[in-house]
Amino acid sequence: MNRLNKQQALLLLPAVIDNEVTEQERAAFYEYIKHDPDVEREFYAMLQVKRLLSQHLPKKPAPDYLKDRIMQQLHEEIESEKLRKPGTPLNQIGTPLKLQSTWSSVLYSGLRYIAAASIILLLTLMVVQLLERSTGSVNTNIFVMENITAQHFTNFDGGLIDPDFATESPAEAESYLAQHYGFNLKIPDLEGARFAGIVLADFHDGMELPLLQYIQDSIDEHIYIFAVDLKRLNQSGNMIRDENAAKSCTTQTDYFVNDINGTHVVSWLWDNNWYSAVSNHNGHDLAAIVGPLNRD
């Protein structure tokens, strides 16, 4: 698929949000937003709105009176369309059609547009209220760590990135991070996976985080883990944890699996550091091989 232009990316954006695109289209979209911060911001703002709506406005069955009202309105619209069609037999028309003035037609159309606009305004206000309750203000520049983690994995097709510090020793990597970058974190052991080193990645918008890379030689798969001090993450201003993950992970063995457009991201809290792991595996299968999450 050829590289997208801005118009094509904007047209594709809602389908990417709703996971209704092909893998080729998704890859093309992610490639495009790497070079267009405006569309990237809009993408993550829409993801945030969708997440908030799904959390605070769960789907509920419509009441019977509303179903009856909708069916009645549909019936009236169908009958009205029959009346408008030229050549409709008279026996199909229950009531003789009265001629309406041009002004009445314009007024009727105007009322319908006003009603539609009112619904859109109401939905917008609901979203604004949800955002205000969840973040304290309406801020479209809030990014979710798990979403960015999934994007990095997709951008590199889950492949191995040349490390800034190549080592198979977690202890050496911990020492390197502490001495050169002041990161005090533990590098987890992953059963059946070989530690391959550290990439100091521009996680998002100048926020540099260590990316821990692992290789599963037997199946030729790679695992990415981003790690950040929880205090630093909370002070970042525009980066947050997934709300459900933050609520679920309170002890050393808790974890949460986030399904982000088909990519599973596993999150957990360990010694005041927040870890966000991603691979081609099912999230629960990935969590099963992470050492800190499998202590009795």
Q: Who has greater pLDDT, 89 or 248?
A: 248
pLDDT of residue 285: 94
Range ranked top by mean pLDDT from 22-31, 98-107, 137-146, 279-288: 279-288
pLDDT of residue 6: 87
**Rounded to an integer, what distance in angstroms lies between the CA atom of residue 267 and that of residue 277?**
6
Contact (Cβ atoms closer than 8 angstroms) between residue 264 and residue 286:
yes
> Residue 74: which residues within 8 A CB-CB, separation 6 or more?
none
Ordered by start, the domain boundaries in the chain are 6-56, 144-294
Answer whether residue 101 shows pLDDT above 50. no
Q: What is the mean pLDDT of the chain?
A: 78
> Residue 215: which residues within 8 A CB-CB, separation 6 or more?
160, 193, 194, 196, 221, 222, 223
pLDDT (tens digit per residue) in 141-196 = 678 999 999 999 988 889 999 999 999 999 999 999 999 888 888 999 999 999 99
Beta bridge partners of 269: 274
pLDDT of residue 255: 93
pLDDT (tens digit per residue) in 68-100 = 777 777 777 667 665 555 554 434 444 444 444
Write out the H or E segment, with its range, that includes residue 119. Answer: helix 102-135
User: What's the CATH code, domain 144-294?
Assistant: 3.40.1000
pLDDT of residue 139: 47
Query: Quick one: pLDDT band at residue 133, thresholds 50, 70, 90?
Result: low
pLDDT of residue 93: 41
Tell me what the mean pLDDT of segment 235-264 comes to. 88
Write out the H or E segment, with its range, that includes residue 103. Answer: helix 102-135
pLDDT (tens digit per residue) in 14-66 = 888 888 888 888 888 888 887 888 888 888 778 777 766 665 555 666 667 66
> Residue 47: which residues within 8 A CB-CB, separation 6 or more?
17, 144, 147
Q: What is the pTM of this model?
A: 0.59
**Rounded to an integer, what distance in angstroms lies between the CA atom of residue 84 and that of residue 77?**
11
Closest CA to 292 of 182, 209, 170: 170
